[in-house]
Structure 1
Amino acid sequence: MKVARFHAPGDIRIEDAPEPVAGPGEVKIRVRNCSTCGTDAKILKHGHHHIRPPRVMGHEIAGEVVETDVPTWSPGDRVQVIAAIPCGTCAECRRGRMTVCPAQESMGYHYDGGFAEYMVVPAKVLAVGGLNRIPDGVGFAEASVAEPLACVLNGQELARVGTGDDVLVIGSGPIGCLHVRLARSRGAARVFLADINADRLALAAERVRPDATVHGDNTVHGADITEQVLKLTEGRGTDVVITAAASKAAQEQALRIAARQGRISFFGGLPKDDPIIACDSNLVHYRELTIVGANGSSPAHNARALELIADGSVPVADLITHRLPLAEVLDGIDIVSRGAAIKVTVEP
């Protein structure tokens, strides 16, 4: 079979590999869709400290069962696979905090992922309820988007996005688009979308229809989005600011955009060699702001994300702008890197 393997930064190869065999408690699937994301682009450029090459990449996975000894699964079952695998037994997992499990592993990092014709779902995934049945009416490509939607769901739960909120999403990539749609489904009054990439912002806005778009630059004060958002909100700011971009400027702007008692989600992580931002502590203090992080998703988030897709609360089919064969996975990652798409999915 064909796979896309990471060997080193800048070195992902399409290679032949033997078809895997499911061991005890494992499930072998035929991969139908494995979507790409900005993390894949980062891995291609910089590698990742959890990846020991060679490793088959891909973590937004949907397919159908072809082989297993697990009695609850049968050949032909349509399934979606979690990306982040909590251990299920540590102190955090026992408290229901699976997203911050210190022993967490990941598909495409610790285990071969979905940029392959076939793959094996580890028993560890099944042990934490991480293999989900795809609901009727949901296609494989849509199901593969459940994983990033699950991460978005975790972020909005932590930021308490709810009825009547004004929400600003900074970053109009696939994650930003999912944030816009999920915020609407959670009852937000108005949702604004901001980006420094005018073309991507226009592409996203055409599909997710925010109440307004805000185009700025990547400096803290230049073409500052703060003034534009304050004008849109009659000087109040937004109840929630979600930084769906790996941007220090966005995080610093969020502190000045949030309304009193506003919530700020640092959804997009910063580069590990430059993670420090300027924080006006008095803004946090006097405005009673809440700043929360967001780290991936739990198995339960993945299951709920599939439900949101299935019942139409968060449509995702129109966000998939490119469908590519496995042989063109590098082209797909390049498209993601350039911000020239919303969602790119690979169909092995």
Structure 2
Amino acid sequence: MKVARFYAPGDLRLEEAEQRPLGTDEMRIRVRHCSACGTDVKIFNHGHHHLVPPRVIGHEIAGEVVELGTDLTGGAGWAVGDRVQVIAAVPCGTCADCAGGRMTICPGQTSVGYHYDGGFAEYLVVPVQVLAVDGLNRIPQGVGFAEASVAEPLACVLNGQELAGVGSGDEVVVIGAGPVGCMHVRLARARGAARVFLVELSRSRLDMSAAVVEPDAAICGSEVDVVDEVLTLTGGRGADVVITAAASGAAQEDALRMTARRGRISLFGGLPKDKPTITLDANLVHYRELSIVGANGSTPAHNKRALELIARGDVPVRDLITHTLPLDRLPEAIRLVGAGAAIKVTIEP
């Protein structure tokens, strides 16, 4: 089978690999789609501290069951031909955080495409750790493999908005017009937001994304003062929720100044490891009674609910997929994502 293996920053090789025999408690799927994301760009450029090369990368995976270990046949509930989506972040399922329903912060969490071979390959052996936490999900009828591969980032968006309490009547600002930002716009609307504003520094990227998700206002941060614009749009009050879906410390600092009293700020996008700090005006937090929350990945349950949101049409994702490429064009896909020249790119091995 063909696989894309990461060896070192800038060294991603398309190779032929043997399919290893299945263990009795394992399952093999034919990967139908594996979408690329900003994390794949970071891995390609810099590697990752959890990833020991060589490793098949790719973690937004949807496919079809082609082989079952003997322990999974019969009464296990799975069959050859089942269409499935695979979680990316794999909690241990047994620690105090997992037992308390806090799987996103499991200290023993592992990840597909980091600790286990991922989905930029023709076939994938689903890690038993995924099966142990109910992390393999059936794709609902009417949802294609490409759409199902986008359920993983949507699950992360769902976790972030739950933590930030996005709800009915809220005025929401989303900073960052990449695929995650687009999903934040659509999910906020599905959760009852009154208005959603999309902010982006790049005019071309903002125009591309806004044309698809149609926010109530599209604000280009390289052309106007973003804080002033949000305050003007909200009559000076500020937004109820600001979501920083960009790896930008400046965006996080701006978020503090554009949030309404008793508002919530979601620091959804992590910052670069060499620049992890911001200047926080603590008095704004104190006197305005602001809440600031983080957001780290998703749980298996979030993935299931993301698939349901897609299936019901509450959060459409098909039109966010602007490019579909074969596995041997994965380097091109990574370049497209890194340049912000696409909304969502999916690989069809």
Whole-Å separation in 1 of the counterparts to 2:201 and 2:316: 25
After superposition, give the CA deviation of every residue in 1:142-201 in whole Å (9 maximum; x if it has no partner).
000000000000000000000000000000000000000000000000000000011010
Whole-Å separation in 1 of the counterparts to 2:176 and 2:112: 25
Identity %: 70
Contact 1:20 1:118 in 2 (8 A): no
Contact 1:26 1:120 in 2 (8 A): yes
Residue of structure 2 in register with 1:231 after alignment: 232
Root mean square deviation of aligned Cα: 0.8
Residue of structure 2 in register with 1:18 after alignment: 18
Structure 1 segment 85-234 matched on structure 2, within 5 A: 85-217=90-222, 223-234=224-235
Residue of structure 1 in register with 2:285 after alignment: 284
Residue of structure 2 in register with 1:319 after alignment: 320
Contact 1:78 1:133 in 2 (8 A): yes
Structure 1 segment 330-345 matched on structure 2, within 5 A: 330-345=331-346
Deviation at 1:209, TM superposition (A): 0.5
Q: For 2:310, what is the secondary structure of its paired residue?
A: helix
Residue of structure 1 in register with 2:7 after alignment: 7
Give the gaps of 5 or more residues in structure 1: none
Deviation at 1:224, TM superposition (A): 2.5
After superposition, give the CA deviation of every residue in 1:279-323 in whole Å (9 maximum; x if it has no partner).
000000000000000000000000000000000000000000000
After superposition, give the CA deviation of every residue in 1:86-132 in whole Å (9 maximum; x if it has no partner).
00001100101000000000000000000000010011101101000
Residue of structure 1 in register with 2:262 after alignment: 261
Whole-Å separation in 2 of the counterparts to 1:50 and 1:123: 19
Give the gaps of 5 or more residues in structure 2: none
Contact 1:59 1:83 in 2 (8 A): yes
| Matched residue type, 1:78 | R
Q: For 1:65, what is the secondary structure of its paired residue?
A: strand
Whole-Å separation in 1 of the counterparts to 2:21 and 2:59: 19
TM normalised by structure 1 equals 0.98
4+ residue segments displaced more than 3 Å:
none
Contact 1:20 1:28 in 2 (8 A): no
| Matched residue type, 1:172 | A
Whole-Å separation in 1 of the counterparts to 2:21 and 2:225: 54
| Matched residue type, 1:209 | E
Deviation at 1:26, TM superposition (A): 1.3
Q: For 2:181, what is the secondary structure of its paired residue?
A: helix
Residue 272 (structure 2) pairs with residue 301 (structure 1): no
Whole-Å separation in 1 of the counterparts to 2:282 and 2:24: 53
Q: Aligned match of 2:84 in 79, 82, 100?
A: 79
Whole-Å separation in 1 of the counterparts to 2:88 and 2:23: 20
Q: For 2:33, what is the secondary structure of its paired residue?
A: strand
Whole-Å separation in 2 of the counterparts to 1:88 and 1:345: 30
Contact 1:141 1:345 in 2 (8 A): yes
